[in-house]
């Protein structure tokens, strides 16, 4: 569902941050994307989301060459990808419920058709008692789970999460990992960018895509 062929990326006129990346992400797969801070994990996720263009090489998403997509096709493809950003990106003036429901409102669904789905997902991430709360009163862990619920509400085929446990204590991080594994078992491909070795040790069966010195090493 996703492949990189000899992809290189430089910012501006600097040297290449990512060099000769070639890998695939298969349907229904689970992988950690890892490497130290500054290794290029977030940059790689931005390439997948087509918010950055590679300097060279080819990126294929759901069978389509990313470089050839029209604007509306980019929008369609992005809808098949759920993203949990490192900084959550919740809207401060909307309640937790409204934040999670927003992607459905954007695609024109009416509330009657999705209310139960949103509530069920909020239950799944353990936020059912917080639905009317504004983001400003939520803890880091609650915001994190709200961002995950919002990414999942559109039932993406591919979920990308950037350092999803960065703000969490180890117990919550473990719980969150279980959510991601459950999601994977229900058929979604999951890519979790993390430099948290302890988190990766919790799920040793996962593939590891390791960035080091701009290059990617894959451990099956």
Ligand X SMILES: Nc1ncnc2c1ncn2[C@@H]1O[C@H](COP(=O)(O)OP(=O)(O)O)[C@@H](O)[C@H]1O
Chain residues in the site for Mg ion (CB under 5 A): 41-42
Q: And the tokens for 1?
A: 């569902």
- Compute the least distance from the CB of residue 97 to Mg ion, in Å: 29
> What are the residue ranges of helices labelled H in 55-191?
71-78, 96-106, 111-124, 140-152, 170-185
- Compute the least distance from the CB of residue 162 to Mg ion, in Å: 6
Q: Which positions from 101 through 160 interact with ligand X, judged by CB under 6 A?
A: none
- Compute the least distance from the CB of residue 17 to ligand X, in Å: 4
Binding residue for ligand X, selected from 42, 60, 167, 202, defined by CB under 6 A: 42
> Residue 40 binds what, of Mg ion, ligand X, none (CB under 5 to 8 Å, by partner type)?
ligand X
- Compute the least distance from the CB of residue 37 to Mg ion, in Å: 7
Rounded CA separation 100/9 (Å) = 33
> Residue 77 binds what, of Mg ion, ligand X, none (CB under 5 to 8 Å, by partner type)?
none
Rounded CA separation 40/37 (Å) = 8
Question: For ligand X, which is the closer residue by CB, 39 or 149?
Answer: 39
* CA-based nearest residue to 84, from 204, 167, 10, 170: 167
Rounded CA separation 37/14 (Å) = 18
Q: How many helices (H) and strands (E) does the chain have?
A: 7, 10
Binding footprint of ligand X, residue count (CB under 6 A): 10
Query: Per CB under 6 A, does 39 bind ligand X?
Result: yes
Question: For ligand X, which is the closer residue by CB, 13 or 70?
Answer: 13
Give the torsion sign (CA, 33, 204, 171, 159): positive
Options 36-44, 74-82, 149-157, 166-174: segment touching ligand X (CB under 6 A): 36-44
Phi, psi of 18 (to 5 degrees): -125, 135
């Amino acid at each position: 569902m996703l492949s990189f062929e000899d992809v290189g990326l430089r910012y501006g006129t600097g040297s290449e941050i990512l060099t000769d990346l070639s890998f695939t992400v298969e349907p229904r797969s689970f992988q950690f994307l890892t490497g130290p801070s500054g290794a290029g994990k977030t940059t790689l996720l931005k390439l997948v989301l087509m918010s950055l263009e590679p300097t060279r090489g080819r990126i294929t998403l759901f069978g389509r060459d990313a470089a050839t997509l029209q604007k509306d096709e980019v929008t369609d493809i992005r809808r098949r990808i759920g993203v949990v950003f490192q900084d959550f990106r919740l809207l401060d003036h909307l309640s937790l419920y409204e934040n999670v429901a927003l992607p459905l409102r954007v695609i024109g669904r009416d509330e009657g058709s999705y209310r139960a789905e949103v509530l069920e997902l909020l239950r799944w991430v353990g936020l059912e008692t917080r639905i009317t709360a504004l983001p400003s009163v939520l803890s880091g862990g609650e915001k994190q789970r709200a961002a995950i619920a919002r990414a999942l509400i559109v039932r993406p085929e591919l979920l990308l999460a950037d350092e999803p446990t960065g703000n969490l204590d180890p117990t919550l991080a473990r719980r969150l990992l279980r959510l991601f594994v459950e999601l994977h078992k229900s058929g979604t491909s999951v890519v979790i960018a993390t430099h948290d070795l302890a988190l990766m040790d919790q799920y040793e069966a996962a593939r590891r895509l390791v960035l080091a010195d701009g290059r990617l090493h894959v451990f099956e």
